[in-house]
């Protein structure tokens, strides 16, 4: 698969390279078919997210993060990665921020508690209260439904672009030392050591952390001095039991401990 890291190629480039035209067409089809449109009744904006309107790119701990102007959406789970991105956007983005939490009943609505306390802390730390936070409940955490839920916010122009905080997994050798294996469908998004496109779904979705793993996330926490303020309020455990703290036993607890050396 072809990769581009910052600006996806335009149709002008595609004119010279049929492979790019083909890839653009595949990307467009992916957006229009099963992923997100079955619930959407409006017309599809011709260009849903205009990446030329990027206001600036900042660099924290060696990681480039594009800060768009306009209405920015962010998927926030209560985990360490999305909490960090929420803080960065609240600190550096000029426009209104719309945070969306997708909370699973099957996991005891844990996402509600942790995303609320993360958003409260982000507002307290940055002084930015130009933020809304919508929590939506679903029975089961299902990736396709989750993406549809997010992309409809862009297609219906509630936001100009949706930020997400997908990271790379730890390197293969590290994962081999873990006691648990990760679900394969999610793993594909996070394959380590391969340069992945940070813009996807016709620029509707932006994942600035897609090519870094959780140890690099910790480095950003360190640089922003958030390890003792924001980090302890985040929750990474994906236990299917009704746990009140990190179980220390699931894949996500292992990843968190590998990166930060502690749970809270
Ligand atoms: Zn756990």
The pLDDT tens digits for 51-77 are: 555 678 999 999 999 999 889 999 999
Cα(257) to centroid of ligand 1, in Å? 10
Q: What is the pTM of this model?
A: 0.82
Residues in the chain: 264
Rounded distance from Cα 250 to ligand 1 centre (Å)? 4
Share of the chain above pLDDT 70, in %: 78
Q: What is the mean pLDDT of residues 170-184?
A: 90
pLDDT of residue 253: 97
Give the pLDDT score at 5. Answer: 44
Region at 48 (left for phi over 0; alpha for psi -120 to 50; beta for the rest): alpha
Question: Is residue 45 over pLDDT 50?
Answer: no
pLDDT digits (tens, 9 = 90+) for 72-116: 999 999 999 999 999 999 999 998 999 999 999 988 999 999 999
Minimal CA–CA distance to 187: which of 221, 151, 150, 143? 143
CATH class of the structural domain 11-260: alpha beta
C-alpha distances in Å from residue 179, one per residue of 188, 189, 263: 19, 21, 17
Give the Cβ contact number of residue 41 at 10 Å: 7
CA of 236 to the centre of ligand 1 (A): 7
Q: Please, which residues have CB less than 5 A from ligand 1, an ion?
A: 237, 239, 247, 250, 253
Q: What is the pLDDT of residues 243-264, one digit of tens each?
A: 999 999 999 999 999 999 999 9
How far away, in angstroms, is 74 Cα from ligand 1 center? 24
Ligand 1 centroid from CA 106, angstroms:
15
Task: Give residue 87 CA to ligand 1 midpoint distance, Å.
Answer: 24
């Amino acid at each position: 698969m072809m990769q581009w890291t910052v600006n996806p190629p335009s149709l002008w480039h595609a004119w010279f390279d049929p492979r790019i035209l083909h890839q653009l067409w595949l990307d467009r089809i992916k957006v229009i078919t099963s992923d997100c449109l079955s619930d959407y009744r409006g017309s599809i904006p011709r260009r849903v997210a205009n990446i030329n309107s990027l206001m600036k790119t900042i660099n924290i701990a060696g990681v480039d993060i594009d800060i768009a102007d306009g209405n920015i959406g962010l998927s926030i789970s209560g985990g360490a990665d999305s909490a960090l991105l929420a803080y960065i956007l609240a600190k550096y983005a000029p426009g209104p921020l719309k945070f969306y939490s997708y909370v699973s009943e099957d996991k005891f609505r844990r996402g509600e508690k942790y995303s609320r306390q993360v958003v409260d802390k982000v507002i307290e730390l940055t002084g930015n209260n130009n933020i809304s936070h919508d929590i939506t409940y679903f029975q089961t955490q299902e990736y396709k439904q989750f993406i549809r839920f997010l992309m409809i916010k862009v297609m219906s122009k509630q936001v100009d672009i949706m930020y997400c905080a997908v990271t790379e997994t730890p390197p293969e050798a590290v994962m081999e030392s873990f006691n648990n294996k990760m679900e394969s469908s999610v793993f594909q998004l996070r394959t380590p050591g391969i340069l992945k496109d940070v813009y996807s779904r016709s620029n509707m979705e932006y994942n600035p952390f897609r090519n870094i793993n959780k140890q690099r996330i910790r480095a950003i926490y360190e640089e922003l001095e958030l390890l003792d303020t924001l980090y302890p309020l985040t929750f990474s455990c994906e236990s299917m039991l009704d746990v009140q703290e990190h179980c220390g036993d699931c894949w996500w607890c292992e990843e968190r401990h590998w990166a930060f050396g502690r749970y809270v």
